[in-house]
Structure 1
Amino acid sequence: MKNTFGQAVTLTLFGESHGAAVGAVLDGLAPGLPVDGDFLRRQLSRRRPTTTLDTARQEPDNYQILSGVFQGRTTGTPLTIVIPNENTRSGDYTYGLARPSHADYAAYCKYHGYEDWRGGGHFSGRVTAPLVAAGAILLSALAGVGVTVGTHILRCGGAWDRPFADRAAADVATLQGADFPALTDEAAQAISAAILAARERQDSVGGITQTAVCGLPAGVGEPWFDSVESLLSHAVFSIGGVKGIEFGGGFSAVCGYGSDFNDSLRMENGRVVTETNRNGGINGGITNGMDVVFQCAVKPTPSIGRPQQTVDFLRGEDAELTIHGRHDPAIIRRICPVLDSVTALVLCDLLTQRFGTDYLAKGARP
């Protein structure tokens, strides 16, 4: 029963939705990395529910760093972040009534009834808060070596944003200063309207995100089982609600001809580049120096206000369930910083394995 990801840089998540706190332990970090409290709080605020598009559960996310940081920099020892749960309402949940498309019944089968089921327990989206807090430290480390990460909502319901440009650095920079994860104001308004319409129908809506990584050197990753796609997919699918992933042009592009899909190679300022980026910056499981780009399918939030058919697995009988708790009509806005964070975890782990522990600190050293 493992809750740890990574080989050289590892992340362990702990806590439950309605427990005392949720938290994370980062291990394998280089010493000397700056820990920017303002950036960490900003990342948490991007994940936090703050608008009518989100759940009514408001948590202040007053994080504490208990170890691994001294005088504003990492020490190189395990870094522990704890975020208290301060706004829980456990009475909204009834054990035994499995919420459709939630982990309630699967968790019962695995943990034999000993799981903390309140608010989804360890399976709750609440556990992504420490993941984002840890991700803020990792994203800062990547920025120090010239690597940036950004995620936007490509589609939500019937509303679309434009995709990243083939050279996505400017788009990623725009997202880092944006209040809403969209590349255009028109898309932000249309996506917001789609989410609000779902809420008015006591329903929920899903969509597609798009993530870009800029500035990665070529030659990172391993063939076969530890390919960049393999590890990113492993990490991305750890996030509840993600049901699919595609890289570069993905499913929509691969049904054409090789003459259309192949990325032509050219020299640019003494560096090998591709004219297009339909392969998403990865060949043979290894980065080729172009932007790494992937899309994720995010399902509609399973908690909806409409009556649903289910079972009471303790009594062994059919039942009807109407969920009355506080839930998001769409998780796609709040999942964007979570995707940035798991992406940063994979990249920090890969770069450390490729270039050594101190590689990530080279941009922080005098």
Structure 2
Amino acid sequence: MSTFGTHFRVTTFGESHCKGVGCIIDGCPPGLALTEDDIQPQLTRRRPGQSNLTTPRDEKDRVTILSGTEFGHTLGTPIGLTVPNQDQRPHDYTETDLYPRPSHADWTYLLKYGLKASSGGGRASARETIGRVAAGAVAEKFLKEAFGTEIVAFVSSVGKIAMPFIEEQNENGVPSEQFVEMLNTITREQIDQEATRCPDKEVSKKMTQRIIEAKEANDSIGGTVTCVIRNVPTGLGEPCFDKLEAKLAHAMLSIPATKAFEIGSGFGGTQVPGHLHNDAWVQKVSRKGQKILGTKTNFSGGIQGGISNGENIYFRIGFKSPATISQEQKTTSYNGVDGVLATRGRHDPCVVPRATPIVEAMAALVIMDATMAQLARQSAASLLPPMPDTPLRPAPFVMAVPGGQAIKVDEAAKPKTE
């Protein structure tokens, strides 16, 4: 369906070449300071025409808040966000009236609905992700203000050109120390210095050459995006079927052109014996100065048993080479007659540079929805008398609530934020 989330619900609307796209956000807490200026930066990072590595479609993607705010603050009612489509060229897609494009959604949409959008990819187009990015910016602002959560995504490979940590992980089975340190410190400002959104300048140059090579050949190339979520509230995730990594996988694989997802050590972790791969528990000091339990290593990617443990959550997503290319391709018409299709539409030779804010947005929506579920659980539990110490609840039992505070469980009746 077109709705994502349970407590923080986002419904996107619009097609690639209709009058506009956007979303409805239901469940946003009231009192959050919010204007278009809070949302626009991420939409600008996603917009087409940013460089010679992206589609030349010229869209400003200026967002308008239609509802749900007053005097610059959220009301707690549904928030309507819209972005107009300005550079529409539906005539670029008349060939698809006769031929389904190879590896595109033309034929599957027709099979499912009995009709399809006549131009572009319709709802399968990456233009649909504008609503996701806008909603993600709202979720991210709440998480940042409430808990200090930071979400950063970057391009880690294009084709066979990869950042060194990927090659090292493939060799050794586990992430390198250099990679772990980068996850702790990388910023969007660093990433945006490169058109490829790869923070390694030397690797970025090679990626640029590879993308231009594909573009000049009227072809395309795929790649991967790595994302880290820092200062994550603990206790997030709803076992058994809505584990946090399962929700992240769901979110990431719903993005157009995605074909792979791995979290933590991922496939590399399958090569390492358990005694080396297990994340040992150690006492740490939280960013707010309290003593808490943490893990010495983080091969788990910040999630154990489907629940966040307070460490960095990190994962990688694989994006296929874009299906729309400007080469003649042998195919078959809808009535089964062989033919040749030459696509005229504008397209990205590689989607990963523009995919980073989409990945960040979907990560924010997952964490926001899970946080609201956990806050509801803790609020309900706070109304009950304190539990006695039992073997199932070691004493003194200390838990971390969203925001990073370490508190005794009997104090959980008074959730604290700073």
**2:185 alignment partner in structure 1:** 170
Tell me: CA distance 1:191–1:41, structure 2 relative to 1, closer, same or farther (3 Å).
same
**Is the CA contact 2:39–2:63 (under 8 Å) kept in the aligned structure 1?**
no
Residue correspondences, number: 360
**Is the CA contact 1:151–1:175 (under 8 Å) kept in the aligned structure 2?**
no
**1:28 alignment partner in structure 2:** 27
Superposition deviation, residue 135 in structure 1: 1.3
Superposition deviation, residue 143 in structure 1: 0.8
CA distance, structure 1, for counterparts of residue 296 and residue 207 of structure 2: 31
- Report the secondary structure of 1:168's partner residue: helix
Identify which of 258, 264, 267 aligns with 1:248.
Answer: 264
Which letter does structure 1 place at the counterpart of 2:317? C
Which letter does structure 2 place at the counterpart of 1:126? R
Show CA shifts across 1:339-365 (max 9, x none). 10011011110000101399999xxx9
CA distance, structure 1, for counterparts of residue 85 and residue 113 of structure 2: 23
Q: Identity of counterpart residues, as a percentage? A: 34
Tell me: CA distance 1:176–1:186, structure 2 relative to 1, closer, same or farther (3 Å).
closer
CA distance, structure 1, for counterparts of residue 194 and residue 35 of structure 2: 19
CA distance, structure 1, for counterparts of residue 337 and residue 39 of structure 2: 46
**1:86 alignment partner in structure 2:** 86
Superposition deviation, residue 184 in structure 1: 2.3
**2:65 alignment partner in structure 1:** 65
**1:121 alignment partner in structure 2:** 122
Q: Is the deviation greater in 247-256 or in 37-46?
A: 37-46
Please tell me whether residue 292 in structure 1 is matched to residue 313 in structure 2. yes
Which letter does structure 2 place at the counterpart of 1:139? E
Superposition deviation, residue 175 in structure 1: 4.7
Show CA shifts across 1:35-70 (max 9, x none). 253342211111112111011111111221111111
- Report the secondary structure of 2:241's partner residue: helix
TM-score by length of 2: 0.82
Identify which of 102, 106, 115 aligns with 1:100.
Answer: 102
**Is the CA contact 2:298–2:311 (under 8 Å) kept in the aligned structure 1?**
yes
Superposition deviation, residue 179 in structure 1: 5.5
**1:52 alignment partner in structure 2:** 52
Superposition deviation, residue 130 in structure 1: 2.1
**Is the CA contact 2:90–2:119 (under 8 Å) kept in the aligned structure 1?**
yes
Alignment of 1:176-325 (within 5 A): 178=193, 180=195, 181-269=197-285, 270-313=291-334, 315-325=335-345
- Unmatched tracts of structure 1, length 5 or more: none
- Report the secondary structure of 2:283's partner residue: strand
CA distance, structure 2, for counterparts of residue 125 and residue 209 of structure 1: 16
CA distance, structure 1, for counterparts of residue 248 and residue 35 of structure 2: 25
Which letter does structure 1 place at the counterpart of 2:240? W
Superposition deviation, residue 166 in structure 1: 5.2
CA distance, structure 1, for counterparts of residue 240 and residue 4 of structure 2: 19
Alignment of 1:9-20 (within 5 A): 9-20=8-19
- Report the secondary structure of 2:271's partner residue: coil
> Which structure is larger by alpha-carbon Rg, 1 or 2?
2
CA distance, structure 1, for counterparts of residue 39 and residue 221 of structure 2: 29
**2:156 alignment partner in structure 1:** 154
- Unmatched tracts of structure 2, length 5 or more: 166-178, 286-290, 380-400, 404-416
**1:41 alignment partner in structure 2:** 40
CA distance, structure 2, for counterparts of residue 158 and residue 302 of structure 1: 18
> Aligned-residue CA RMSD in angstroms?
2.1
Superposition deviation, residue 74 in structure 1: 1.1
Superposition deviation, residue 21 in structure 1: 0.6
**1:76 alignment partner in structure 2:** 76
Q: Is the deviation greater in 283-292 or in 259-268?
A: 259-268
**Is the CA contact 1:162–1:183 (under 8 Å) kept in the aligned structure 2?**
no
Q: Is the deviation greater in 31-40 or in 215-224?
A: 31-40
CA distance, structure 2, for counterparts of residue 171 and residue 162 of structure 1: 16
Higher relative contact order at CA 8 Å, sep ≥6: structure 1 or structure 2?
1
**2:409 alignment partner in structure 1:** none
Which letter does structure 2 place at the counterpart of 1:67? S
Which letter does structure 1 place at the counterpart of 2:12? L
Which letter does structure 1 place at the counterpart of 2:71? Q
Which letter does structure 2 place at the counterpart of 1:231? K
CA distance, structure 1, for counterparts of residue 157 and residue 180 of structure 2: 16
**Is the CA contact 1:150–1:175 (under 8 Å) kept in the aligned structure 2?**
no
Identify which of 355, 371, 375 aligns with 1:335.
Answer: 355
Which letter does structure 2 place at the counterpart of 1:42? P
Show CA shifts across 1:222-246 (max 9, x none). 2220100111111111111010100
CA distance, structure 2, for counterparts of residue 348 and residue 172 of structure 1: 20
Which letter does structure 2 place at the counterpart of 1:224? C
- Report the secondary structure of 2:13's partner residue: strand
Which letter does structure 2 place at the counterpart of 1:91? H
Which letter does structure 1 place at the counterpart of 2:202? E
CA distance, structure 2, for counterparts of residue 161 and residue 129 of structure 1: 28
Superposition deviation, residue 187 in structure 1: 2.7
Tell me: CA distance 1:32–1:178, structure 2 relative to 1, closer, same or farther (3 Å).
farther
